[in-house]
Amino acid sequence: MRKLGFVLFVLITAVMTAQEEPLVSNIFQDTYILDALADISAQTGIPIIADTTVTGFITMELNEVPLEQALKMILMPGGYVFKKMDGFYFVGSPDPANPAFRYLAVTKTYKLKYITTADAQELLPAVYKSYVKFNEKNNMVTITAPEEIIQEFEEDLKKIDIPIPQVKISVIVTEVSKDYSNELGLNSLDYSFGSGQEFNENWSATLGLVTGLINVQTDVFGQILAQLKLLEEDQKAKITADPWIIVKSGEKASLFLGERQVVLLQAEGAVSRIESIDVGVSIDIQPRVMDKEELELTLSPKVSHFAGEKLGTFAVKQNELSTTLFLKNGQTVVISGATIEDNAQTSSGVPILNKIPLIRYLFGGTMKKDSQKELYIFIKAEIQGSE
């Protein structure tokens, strides 16, 4: 019973407080705004003071409108605001260049949770530009403005300071002997990506996979890795790397899977020099989450390897590709088409005798072995926290 009485008391108090605000009834026809404010002040008995920036004419009819609502209706067309002070209302322009701005404005600070100050500057409407300051070090935003503008700012800030989806990118880079590519089910991988290509449900048909082996689908990544490890044990494949990285939606990430080799270069009649050369696979990746189950993936892989030596220099062959495509969450992308040729030369024979001119061919020999490997890059994209 006491609880009910308390609720009734609060409701009655709230109603009485609302009723305490004076009501305004008046008709203005091309009336100078300062004269209109003076009439309202005389009717309500509450002083209304305007700064020197307030000017213009208004036309409207007010019928028992609460005072503060009437002030909004009168001031809004001219972009003016008001602030309730001790016993009076102060009216003015919300321009920071206005000498009276400090009497109209308040200052509030916000700590950004999910986005950076750079993101906030880009996303917030330009109307707030003269009111806000950004602290990049502490990832904070400070606004100095009238309360009415701050309320709108808070609503807009809530809309942009939201969690940014993250995407886990898993990569397998493998070299498979061309003779054993069929064991992976990748014998006819001639799929070429096109910019803006839409997702294709029938991946096995698109990729030309061998029936009964591997179907490239949502959960295929682990199957591919297991199959490759079996081939690696039989020395039919080599897994160069299988890293993963987590990237924010819309941001770029770079992966380099290879090594930096130091080579000695010597040209005829020139001094030898040492150079370092990066060989391997580098991939620039930019995922963008479209919804919970679909994402856009921009890929720019570059494959480089030694192509041979000539006149004391090394030739490095590069293959580059740039594409944008749409994937379902957890989908695996396959990039292929780069063939690496290995040319090995092995010398054998009787020590010392195989070095003597003329007769060395009787006591030794040289065996050349050429092999080809197909380079495959498997990329899987998973939206984190989508379940």
Q: pLDDT truncated to tens, each residue of the chain (387 aa)?
A: 444 443 434 333 334 344 578 999 999 999 999 999 999 999 999 999 999 999 999 999 999 999 999 999 999 999 999 999 999 999 999 999 999 999 999 999 999 999 999 999 999 999 999 999 999 999 999 999 999 999 999 999 999 999 888 999 888 777 777 666 555 555 433 333 333 333 333 333 333 333 333 333 334 556 666 666 666 666 666 666 667 888 888 889 888 877 777 766 665 555 666 777 777 788 888 999 988 888 898 888 887 766 655 555 566 666 677 888 888 888 888 776 555 555 544 455 545 545 555 455 444 555 555 566 777 778 888 888 755
pLDDT score, position 351: 56
**CA neighbours closer than 13 Å in the CB half-sphere of residue 355:** 2
pLDDT score, position 302: 80
What are the residue ranges of CATH 3.30.1370.120 in the chain? 101-160
* pTM of full prediction above 0.85: no
355-386 pLDDT per residue, tens:
555 455 444 555 555 566 777 778 888 888 75
pLDDT score, position 14: 37
pLDDT score, position 364: 52
Q: Which sign, positive or negative, has the C-alpha torsion 360, 361, 363, 369?
A: positive
Q: Does domain 21-92 have CATH number 3.55.50.30?
A: yes
Neighbouring residues of 267: CB distance < 8 A, sequence distance ≥ 6: 311, 312, 313
What are the residue ranges of CATH 3.55.50.30 in the chain? 21-92
Burial readout 292-310 (b: 16 or more C-beta within 10 A, e: otherwise): eeebbbebbbebbbbeeee
Top CATH class, 101-160: alpha beta
